Structure 1
Amino acid sequence: MLAPNVAMGWVDEDAMKKLVTIALPVYKRLDYVVSALQSIAEQDYPNIELIVSDNGENGSLVKDLADQWYPRPYRFRQNPSTLPLPIHYNQLIEAATGEYFAFLDYDDVISPNYVSELVRILDDHPDVAVALSREEIVDPSGRILRASSADMPERFSGPDFLRSWTMYGYESYATVLGRTAYIKADGGHPFFPGGTYTDDAILIKLCLRGAVGISQRCVFRWRWSEISHGWSLKCASLAEDTRRFLRFLDRDPAILRYQAKEPKEWLDIKKHLFRMAWHTYYERWAGLYRERMPPASWVRAGFAMPFIRDYYGMVSEVLWYAVKGKCIKCIKRLGVGSRGIDRSVQ
């Protein structure tokens, strides 16, 4: 769009808009890459730097898809061998040149006004460090399963948002629009080998930098699948990531800087985040992994956390009922019913 300029005659207003970097990391599965590319191509915001990055040793397949389905200029990079997820993601942060930055995983999509709507919030409110959209959780076919709450404030202080982490129905913070300079200055993704909590860590540090803006007028659609990276992660990897995340809350330089300024507030925030992390591990251990693991391995996995009184109280209760259930089954197999011992088995 051209607009008059007193000194130069005409200027391109689109070119004057701030550059936004969207990073599209790809691993082995390519089945949803086209959908992700199309959702970026359909953005109504004109000044986007797309970086497509192949971390799965896919030959020319990823670039071929991007060439075919993304009509705008873009940057392509490819690792010669697969790197751990946090290292790959930090490569993309380092490569970003836009003022604002967002990841979009290969199997997720964003609404056509996602970038323009969140850029508006960041442009209008310099104290906002990160902007979020409405979130819809969809199944592999794209059918909406759940959504974040429509009844929430349009603005939070960073600490208030961290305290309300699980209150409004967000299930993934993989795609948010943050200020690139803050993300780079705070070191990007911590090294959690399995990749769990890395998105959370970025958001936490952005929230300690400034306010959070929320728009209900645009959407991030997060695709839930049992074979996606997070849900296919082995229990031992989730345990290691959780332990590292708990240490991160005590050791990360960006967090320590905030703690030095606001010790009481950080102690309160940390309490909420600490419980969120170990409770996530507990829920998956008690449900998902119980179905996937041999009984002895599953029991050992229950003791993978550092000592946390509430956590081990819940684990003990689950193990007690598991043992009780086993005992009842054994008794029934021996022929003991409600009327006592069946003498025929003696």
Structure 2
Amino acid sequence: MNTAPRLSILVPAYNAQQHLDATLRSVLEQMGPDHELVVIDDGSTDATSEVARRLQAAYPALATRLIRQDNAGLATTRNRLLDAAAGEYILFLDADDLVLPGTLAELDAIIAAHRPDVIACDFNDWHPHNMRRTRRMERGYPAATLLTDREAILRTFFMDRQCYAWANVMRREIYARQPAPLYPPGRTFEDITVTPQLIADCASLVRLARPCFDYRQHPGSMKRGLSHKWCTDFAQAVLHTRRHFETLPVSAALRLHIDAATVHYYIVILKRTYEMPWREGRAARADVRALLLQNLFNPLETVLDAMAGEVLDSHDRRADRRAASQMRKLLAGNPGFVLGKLVARKIKVWQRKAAA
């Protein structure tokens, strides 16, 4: 008799005591016999393990495990969680986010009906301290439809650019087929490095077209940390995607979609360099510009023209046109644009510090 769980919920946790109780309760309150929850405490110095143990004791009938380890970083922790998982499908969950009610039951229903390689989930970009900023993030795929066109799956994926590990619930077999270690130890942006590679190995997809998670935004989030290394690590993660797809027999059209996604990513990086001290930001911009040209399959102007036109399978052409225009201004060092970015980003830095 096969007693393996259908779904493994995997939670990497480091100094997560503030939010971990709410995160784990959001899972435990909807778990059933076909689910398991695995938490790894990555060498926390706070009460992370105690919070997890207390909840284990409160839900003794459910399959839960707590693993403690010396601090190894998020990428290594994700790899160890995959080694520990027994479920047919994998759901990663950050230690400060919430699984919304009914999500596990709907994932179960999709698996039972379609058994896709991946389930793409809508979610809320959640600002609990300023709910007016909270917005639903919808994936570009049609709802409740089994998609089996790999090219279409990948084009939409790169137009969405939702690389979060938790936003894509996948068969464990997809993870197991990749070279080990899957998540590169010691690197940040490990999901941007790995998720496109995983999606490229998926032959079928279903979108769960309702918010499945509250993705918490707060000044202490990992993505708020900023340095020259943050910028180049982000760029190197995107470069991994280009190198991976270079080895695959993909169409010229898909390569153009990958390039458009790359431009969107690089705009995020270049904008954030204006939050840094001037000299550090200028050095980071120079390195990032050099990496951008390595990242593209096509000439940059070809990509920007495609983004400004009607070539891409885009569900937000206005955003693509705006991104193309911003990239041209950023690379040209347009004085008015640069000054505006300097002022705007400095204001954001002040706002984050005030909210912290």
Matched residue of 1:28: which SS?
coil
Q: Tell me what 1:78 maps to.
A: 68
RMSD of aligned C-alpha atoms?
3.2
Q: Tell me what 1:129 maps to.
A: 117
Residue 190 of structure 1 and its aligned partner are, at CA, apart by 3.7
Once residues 122 and 248 of structure 1 are traced to their aligned partners in structure 2, the CA distance between those partners, rounded to angstroms, is: 28
Equivalent residues, number? 299
Residue identity in the other structure for 1:283: V
Residue 135 of structure 1 and its aligned partner are, at CA, apart by 0.9
Residue identity in the other structure for 1:302: R
Q: Tell me what 2:127 maps to.
A: 139
Matched residue of 1:32: which SS?
helix
Matched residue of 2:274: which SS?
helix
Residue identity in the other structure for 2:36: E
Alignment match of 1:317 (pick from 310, 332, 349): 332
Distance 1:137 1:42, change over 3 A: same
- Mapped pair 1:31 → 2:3: no
Q: Tell me what 1:228 maps to.
A: 221
- Unpaired runs of at least 5, structure 1: 1-10, 326-346
Once residues 188 and 17 of structure 2 are traced to their aligned partners in structure 1, the CA distance between those partners, rounded to angstroms, is: 19
Residue 319 of structure 1 and its aligned partner are, at CA, apart by 5.6
**Conserved 8 A contact 1:189-1:199:** no
- Mapped pair 1:289 → 2:273: yes
Q: Tell me what 2:348 maps to.
A: none
Residue 141 of structure 1 and its aligned partner are, at CA, apart by 4.0
| Deviation per residue, 1:134-162 (Å, 9 max, x gap) | 21110144836111238851234443233
Residue identity in the other structure for 2:54: Q
Q: Tell me what 1:214 maps to.
A: 207
Residue identity in the other structure for 1:303: A
- Mapped pair 1:243 → 2:236: yes
Once residues 92 and 248 of structure 1 are traced to their aligned partners in structure 2, the CA distance between those partners, rounded to angstroms, is: 23
**Conserved 8 A contact 1:44-1:113:** no
| Deviation per residue, 1:193-240 (Å, 9 max, x gap) | 442152562354234321211122451211122321123243422312
Q: Tell me what 1:164 maps to.
A: 156
- Mapped pair 1:279 → 2:269: no
Once residues 26 and 241 of structure 1 are traced to their aligned partners in structure 2, the CA distance between those partners, rounded to angstroms, is: 22
| Deviation per residue, 1:59-87 (Å, 9 max, x gap) | 6x22211122341341111122x213211
| Deviation per residue, 1:178-202 (Å, 9 max, x gap) | 1001112124634274421525623
Bigger radius of gyration: 1
Matched residue of 2:9: which SS?
strand
Alignment match of 1:109 (pick from 76, 94, 98): 98
Once residues 108 and 67 of structure 1 are traced to their aligned partners in structure 2, the CA distance between those partners, rounded to angstroms, is: 19
Once residues 97 and 73 of structure 1 are traced to their aligned partners in structure 2, the CA distance between those partners, rounded to angstroms, is: 11
**Conserved 8 A contact 2:23-2:97:** yes
- Unpaired runs of at least 5, structure 2: 294-299, 305-326, 341-356
Residue 99 of structure 1 and its aligned partner are, at CA, apart by 0.8
Of the structure 1 ranges 20-29 and 138-147, higher mean CA displacement relative to structure 2 is found in: 138-147
Residue 124 of structure 1 and its aligned partner are, at CA, apart by 1.9
**Conserved 8 A contact 1:118-1:132:** no
**Conserved 8 A contact 1:159-1:207:** no
Residue 30 of structure 1 and its aligned partner are, at CA, apart by 2.4
Once residues 30 and 161 of structure 2 are traced to their aligned partners in structure 1, the CA distance between those partners, rounded to angstroms, is: 25
Distance 1:277 1:178, change over 3 A: same
Q: Tell me what 1:43 maps to.
A: 30
Residue 129 of structure 1 and its aligned partner are, at CA, apart by 0.7
Residue identity in the other structure for 1:107: D
**Conserved 8 A contact 2:41-2:67:** yes
Q: Tell me what 2:315 maps to.
A: none
- Mapped pair 1:98 → 2:98: no
Identity level (%) = 19
